[in-house]
Amino acid sequence: MTPRPFRLHVEEKALDDLRERLARTRFPDAMPGAPWETGADLDWMRGLVDHWQNRFDWRAQEARLNAFDQYKVPIAGIDLHYLHVAGQGDAPLPLLLSHGWPGSVFEFLDLIPMLTDPERFGGDPADAFTVVAPSLPGYGLSFAANQPRFSVEQIADVFAQLMSDVLGYPRFATQGGDWGAFISSRIGLAHPDKAIGVHLNLLPVRRDLAPNADPSPAERQYLAELKHWLAEETGYSLQQGTRPQTLAYALNDSPTGLAAWIAEKFRAWSDCDGDVESVFTKDEILADVSLYWFTGAIGSSFWPYYARVHGGWPIPLGQTVDVPMGYCEFPAEILHPPRRLAEQTFTDIRRWSVMAKGGHFAAMEQPEALAAEIRAFYRPLRAGQDPASHTAGRR
């Protein structure tokens, strides 16, 4: 398992092909109802496709990613892609940063420097991390056609192996949202000897966990949120979790369809008050969509949903994550499980922060606030760690 340096470069013919496909888009008509009520708004999508075809600069996005040290390593039957960004200072803490769906490592490009060099952003240099941010197996640059598929449980094992066996970090910090929260929590469950702690910006609590017989106001609010979520917002996950192959034909063939499928989630799950471009630029959205397009990874990115539907929740009923846990609750996150419910899964909650602004894509929406929370949670956990183990990583 010898890592090799990697730089992203998409061939020009792939860019030409994308522009030609976008020019031939056959748009649907607009369904009755208010804009966005039935899905991605037609007028907004026309503008996004026009921008993608005529003004979007993919080479600039490549350059943003290539500004960070990247590698690929053969592991578990695939070529796993990851960023490995050295922290400043004498003993930066190794941190595994895991993204989710429909995200990618592009989510972390603003956040990573705030973690590796906090002094540059007004923080304490003693809080520095060395960041390892892999592309999830089956996602983006960790995908090749016909490779093995991975459940969350398997991804957690692969990432633990990457950190300890490949990079030489016997113990490390973890952080994640979306699937990254599940992966980080699973590492805390399955590899507690390796996980210094688990920091999350989404709570992966089982949906069949019941509040007390006399639910608190927060628990009643959560039950109402969950009822709405299951009734109105889970169509994507049901399709991805039951018939991912069928959906893959459409989204792997139509860049406009792919953009609509992903961009609608950036709007629905962010703290944007209905105006997605108040939080994300078109370029930020299209950088993520383009990575799925150029790698052909959208179908394989569905597999964790299929594995969960057919294999169960990554934190089995009755099992608990016992390593230190920290959580920051962003107001526009999709669900807000109350602490009393979270304590049924996480037995050692050290930090629980309610944030002023932000949503599901916290690393993009509020990188400064998220970085501050990660640093604050891990600050007391650094005590007692062997500084030598923090610098033992092998690229």
Which positions are annotated as active-site residues? 178, 305, 360
List, in sequence order, every residue forming a beta bridge with 328; answer none if it has no partner: 353
Cβ atoms of 303 and 149 within 8 Å: the answer is yes
Long-range contacts of 365-370 (CB under 8 A, 24+ apart): 365/270, 365/271, 365/279, 365/330, 366/330, 367/110, 367/111, 367/114, 368/114, 368/121, 369/328, 370/111, 370/201, 370/328
Q: What are the strands of the beta sheet with 172-176, ordered from one edge? A: 4-5, 70-75, 78-85, 129-134, 93-98, 172-176, 195-200, 325-329, 349-354
Q: For the chain, state the CA radius of gyration.
A: 20
Q: Read out DSSP for 264-333?
A: HHHHHTSSSTT-GGGTS-HHHHHHHHHHHHHHT-HHHHTHHHHHHHHH--SS-TT--B-S-EEEEE-TBS
